[in-house]
Homo-oligomer: A and B are copies of this chain.
Amino acid sequence: MAGNSFGQLFRITTFGESHGVAIGVIIDGCPANLDIDMKFIQSELDKRRPGQSKITTQRKESDTVQILSGIFEGKSTGTPISLLIPNEDQRSKDYGHNVNVYRPSHADYVYDAKYGIRDHRGGGRSSARETAARVASGAIAKLFLKQQGIEIFAHVTSVGKINAPELQINDLSALLNIREQNIVRCADPQSADEMIEFIDNVRKDGDTIGGKISCIVKGCPAGLGEPVFDKLHADLGKAMLSINAVHGFEYGSGFAGSELLGSQHNDIPQPKAMDENNFKTTTNFAGGILGGISNGMDITFTTAFKPVATIMHNQQTINSLGEAAEIKGKGRHDPCVVPRAVIIVEAMAALVVADHLLRQRSNRL
């Protein structure tokens, strides 16, 4: 119950510290006979890897993924798929300063409190480097979903107080193109420019800034999600909240929905034309999920990220004896996590949907 696994039937277990030998993941439960496109997996990791632009950390990691098991002649065999990503650019000496001093808003203190021992180098297991394992396994979940006609798209919708306008999300590949043409991964080019400039200024100040990412799942069949505790949006919420720096999750109408009347919020089902098969409503405040179960419409949710805790300012803090101390951020850090987190959000969403796709197979005779 140490909590390094996620999912029930499409299940991952990750391992590895920021400054250890490697990080990696075992995927247990990927259906057999899936074509495993290694180039796609690597391209997903490339979108998460550090050093990709001026507004991300300058740590140099190629994040080259190796497959150790579970694939035969390019296809999954139904046995555990093990993926390994060696660590390359570990400057552990950058971390001498936090052996006995607790960095503000970092997990240093709680690891000591929890375990009585702590690998202080780069945050150890609490480092966001662990998310590379999620992205690698999420890429395989995406391959499975694609084979089932399901697509996932996330994008940055705010940085600090800069909010992108709401977009019409229909053609995902067109939007993906736009998103990948700017380094902040916003699907609105004009907002992207503003966000990038703002982040760059924050970075120059030695500061950091939070932001938000929205995500859409298209093509999900009706019927996914279990009615009580494992509601589809509850599992999506847990998945998002398990990502480093996330402080909030909402789906469909979200927090704003709490201000509405039922007569405003109800989504009205539309009669089906002769050749239609799908459920459709006029509005989608439900975010594609009713009673925890997908209804076949677009699934929509948003995730809020706090600013990165490592800033290049002097800060007051305490040491492991509880005495006053001062600390200044060292190492190479992101001024804003959302540009790289977009791909993590997609990966976790893919893992949740893949898991529920398999779970749904048991619900009928």
Contact = CB atoms under 8 A, between A and B. Distances in A.
B106 A209 contact: no
Contacts of A110: 222-223, 290-291, 293-295
Given A68-B22, A82-B24, A242-B229, A365 B32 contact: yes
Contacts of A191: none
A122 to B, nearest CB: 12
A265 B336 CA distance: 13
B269 A104 contact: yes
Q: How many chain copies does the complex carry?
A: 4
A1 B16 contact: no
23 contacts: A2-B29, A21-B69, A29-B362, A32-B364, A33-B117, A76-B117, A102-B269, A107-B227, A109-B279, A110-B294, A113-B293, A126-B227, A210-B259, A212-B255, A234-B238, A237-B237, A247-B252, A248-B255, A264-B307, A271-B318, A271-B322, A271-B323, A285-B306
Contact of A241 (B207, B237, B258, B266): B237
A113 B22 contact: no
A53 interface: no
B2 A226 contact: yes
A260 B94 CA distance: 26
A214 interface: no
Going nearest first, the 4 A-B pairs with the smallest beta carbon separation are A107-B291, A3-B226, A3-B230, A272-B322
A352 to B, nearest CB: 11
Given A261-B209, A362-B9, A79 B272 contact: no
Interface in A278-316: 279, 281, 285-287, 290-296, 304-311, 313, 315-316
